[in-house]
Amino acid sequence: MFPFIWWLGAEEPPAADVGQHGSGGDHLRRRVIMATASQSWSPLRLSPLFGLEAVTSDLTLDADPDILSWRSRGSDAQSIAANNSLGWLPNGWGSGKGTPRFSQALSGPFLSTASGTVVSWMAGEDVPFAVLMTVQTLVIADQVFCCWDDTSPGSSIITIRTDNAGGGRLRVVRTDASGSNVTVTGNLDIGTEHQRLGVSFSGNSVDLYVGNRLDVSQASDVGFMIPNRFRIGTGPGIDALTGYMPSFWVIPRHISSSEWAAYYDYSVKVWG
């Protein structure tokens, strides 16, 4: 049986040196390398701007333990600051699988940055992007996963959130600098169990993914946007997130349905 290896630290796993020299050994070695590579897909394959994975090597923790900062992966590698006692649960997602604990009861702990391309990329008109998340909301309510906004203050806001319809629905609200906005709301329930959620904007339409399904694909066209801040777990005019989020990625382009399927499979295998 070929080895099952997940390689989170780099795009490609190391080649396995198995078999003897000669055609038989080389053939077996190629089969092991191919099997290992196919099982080692990670979001780094999508050339992300920004990514967070809940592993302690990427975190700065205090004694409580709360998260003080979280080192991002991708082209915009930075330490994003945690605010308002963002808790760390070493086994919160499962045995040996840690996760941050976002909680309204703690005045909305969140992550925030005003620097880097994760902020500047969103400036412009109809800039494509995708957000991929592994989450668990603990309540069915209006709450925010992440947002880009203008602190000047201004009207430029991109909010990825839920609303409280049914079992909670994924929603994206984009408001341009003039105040015009477009809202896209999904039809599938998110619920309160482990979930994978995706948002992909092509420049003129938004695709919403819930689990392994395309939920909604809808036209979405607004004007120029100039956000200067990015936050995870909170946003303007809506309650903070109550739940867990061990994996979060921002991609600087629209993604295909097959790329979403690859992230979904990755998340299920890595996080369960």
Supply φ then ψ for residue 246, to 5 degrees.
-85, -10
Q: Are 157 and 179 in contact (CB under 8 A)?
A: no
Q: What is the pLDDT of residue 19?
A: 33
How far apart are the C-alpha atoms of 272 and 265, rounded to whole Å? 10
Closest to 132 (Cα-Cα) out of 208, 76, 62: 208
Q: Are 42 and 8 in contact (CB under 8 A)?
A: yes
Sign of the four-CA dihedral 36, 39, 40, 41: positive
Number of domains in the chain: 2
- Same domain, residue pair 58 and 18: no
Looking up residue 86, the CATH number of its domain turns out to be 2.60.120.200
HEC secondary structure over 167-227: CCEEEEEEECCCCCEEEEECCCCCCCCCEEEEEEECCCEEEEEECCEEEEEEECCCCEECC
- Same domain, residue pair 70 and 103: yes
Q: Which residues contact residue 121 at a Cβ distance below 8 angstroms, ignoring those fewer than 6 apart? A: 49, 127, 129, 252
- Same domain, residue pair 58 and 192: yes
- Same domain, residue pair 149 and 262: yes
The token duo for 200 is 């992909």
- Same domain, residue pair 9 and 21: yes
- Same domain, residue pair 247 and 186: yes
Closest to 174 (Cα-Cα) out of 216, 129, 233, 239: 129
CB-count burial class (<10 Å; 0-12, 13-18, 19+) for 50: buried
- Same domain, residue pair 88 and 7: no
The domain of 1 spans 1-40
CB-count burial class (<10 Å; 0-12, 13-18, 19+) for 17: exposed
- Same domain, residue pair 16 and 119: no
- Same domain, residue pair 161 and 146: yes
From the DSSP assignment, how many helices (H) and strands (E) are in the chain?
Answer: 3, 18
- Same domain, residue pair 64 and 28: no
- Same domain, residue pair 108 and 92: yes
pLDDT 10s per residue in the chain (272 long)? Answer: 433 333 344 333 333 333 333 444 443 333 333 333 445 899 999 999 999 999 999 999 999 999 999 999 999 999 999 999 999 999 999 999 999 999 976 668 999 999 999 999 999 999 999 999 999 999 999 999 999 999 987 889 999 999 999 999 999 999 999 999 999 999 999 999 999 999 999 999 999 999 999 999 999 888 899 999 999 999 988 899 999 999 999 999 999 999 999 999 999 999 99
- Same domain, residue pair 104 and 174: yes
Q: What is the pLDDT of residue 89?
A: 97
Q: What is the pLDDT of residue 93?
A: 98
Closest to 36 (Cα-Cα) out of 66, 6, 10: 6
Q: Indicate the Cα dihedral angle 115, 120, 121, 127, nearest 10°.
A: 140
